[in-house]
Chains A and B, each alone.
Chain A
Amino acid sequence: MLDRRLARLAFRARAAQLVVATTGSATLAATATGYSRSSGSFITDGFERGMEVTPAAFTQTDPGIIDLVTASALTIRGGRTPQTSGAGRSLTVGLPALRAWENVKFEPTQGRPYVDEDLVMGGGSVLTLPTRTGLTEQDGLSIWTWFGLAGMGPESLDRAATALTKLFAPNTKFVLSDGSVIVVRGDVLPHDGQITPVDGGWAYVQVSIPWRVTTRNAVAA
């Protein structure tokens, strides 16, 4: 039978690899209003207003919310600590830094995106005989609810949902430490729902990843 703890950790580890938009290693500057670049394009790199961007190799390391995107500049809510242009820096949008893990007390922070996880177990059956040592198959869902900022247009949540469904594309495999193999199903595709605004300044999109795991049954003595 599936070890749920290992499964949850595997899905979390995969989600943590998410890249929605990134400059990659680039020559970037921090300005009083945000970030700037003299080559490349923030638009081409996929940045959108409402996204939470994480800087690397800058003096200021806390994430910032994008208010405006042009090819050569990102306007960050609240501004940034200015820093002259330097190579080897990056700006990346990934899984929100604020994460509501299951059964962990969490309070959203106004003005910051966050993500909620659900691991939902489905039905299963025995595949091979004898049952005592046969293979079993079980279905489930890994559900990610991405709460973005309301009123910022659909683009940031559209890109987030698309990036998540691509990260968990059908036939993506997770080999757990106990040898079980979780596979993202292809007969039922990952589903991303409609962007839905709710009170409190949020709009969310929910991404459901259907998976199936095959494990070896072992009857306890």
Chain B
Amino acid sequence: MSAQQFRVGLDRFKVTTKTRAQIVFDGASRAALASIRLGSPITGAPGQPVDSEDLLKSWRMEPESPTVNVIFTDSPYAQSNEDGIARPGGGPYILRSKRGGRHSVKLTIMGFPRIVADIVAKLGTRFPGGG
């Protein structure tokens, strides 16, 4: 292989790597949001309890920078639904929905490496030009 060919291959590898990194970033971000909102077999998160869907829809994602997406909610009862503690009462926050459950945020955070591994596995390992 000539130096020129090696350089071309390396440039192609750089582009491919950046593209794949972006795919993983976008895919993992969307999967994390879905895990919190709807639940996920990868993380085990049950998703948000559903009545009017206000809570579920309150969970959103916005880009903060090219490499940071922020997942957030402004629902005043999201915390109680997350940890099952009523506020301000402090007693148990009764789950009335037949869908969803508790601790989806915690499970998503804990299971994030699995989300990333799943996206990477689906991406495959082939690179243009062989290898």
Q: Of A120, A122, A139, A188, which one neighbours B102 at CB under 8 angstroms?
A: A120
Q: Known contacts A141-B103, A143-B103, A145-B83; decide if A122 and B88 are in contact (CB<8 Å).
A: no
Contacts of A188 in B (CB 8 A): 109-110, 113
Counting contact residues on chain B (CB < 8 A from A), the size range is 20 to 34
Q: Known contacts A123-B43, A200-B90; decide if A118 and B84 are in contact (CB<8 Å).
A: yes
Q: Contact: B84 with A120, CB < 8 Å?
A: no
Q: Contact: A147 with B113, CB < 8 Å?
A: no
Contacts of B111 in A (CB 8 A): 122-123, 139
What is the total number of residues of chain A having a CB less than 8 Å from a CB of chain B? Answer: 27
Query: Is A204's beta carbon under 8 Å from chain B?
Result: yes
Q: Contact: A141 with B106, CB < 8 Å?
A: yes
Query: Is B41's beta carbon under 8 Å from chain A?
Result: yes
Q: Of B41, B43, B83, which one neighbours A206 at CB under 8 angstroms?
A: B83
Tell me whether chain A's interface is mostly helix, strand or loop, or mixed.
strand
Tell me the nearest residue of chain B to A140, going by C-beta: B44
Question: Smallest Cβ distance from B38 to chain A, in angstroms?
Answer: 14
Interface residues of A in 192-218 (CB under 8 A from B): 196, 198-200, 202, 204, 206, 208, 210
**Roughly how many angstroms separate A196 CA and B90 CA in the complex, as a whole number?**
9
Q: Known contacts A147-B90, A188-B109, A199-B88; decide if A123 and B83 are in contact (CB<8 Å).
A: no
Tell me the nearest residue of chain B to A212, going by C-beta: B110
Q: Known contacts A123-B41, A145-B85; decide if A139 and B90 are in contact (CB<8 Å).
A: no
**Roughly how many angstroms separate A9 CA and B85 CA in the complex, as a whole number?**
23
Contacts of A143 in B (CB 8 A): 83, 103, 106
Q: Contact: B88 with A139, CB < 8 Å?
A: no
Q: Contact: A123 with B89, CB < 8 Å?
A: no
Q: Known contacts A123-B42, A204-B90; decide if A139 and B85 are in contact (CB<8 Å).
A: no
Contacts of B114 in A (CB 8 A): 123, 125, 139
The chain A residues found within 8 Å of chain B, CB to CB, are 108, 118, 120-125, 139-141, 143, 145, 147, 185, 187-188, 191, 196, 198-200, 202, 204, 206, 208, 210
Beyond contacts A199-B88, A204-B90: 18 other A-B pairs, Cβ-Cβ < 8 A, are: A118-B102, A120-B102, A122-B43, A122-B111, A123-B107, A124-B44, A125-B114, A139-B110, A143-B83, A198-B85, A198-B86, A198-B90, A199-B89, A200-B89, A200-B90, A200-B91, A202-B90, A208-B106
The chain B residues found within 8 Å of chain A, CB to CB, are 40-45, 83-91, 102-103, 106-107, 109-111, 113-114
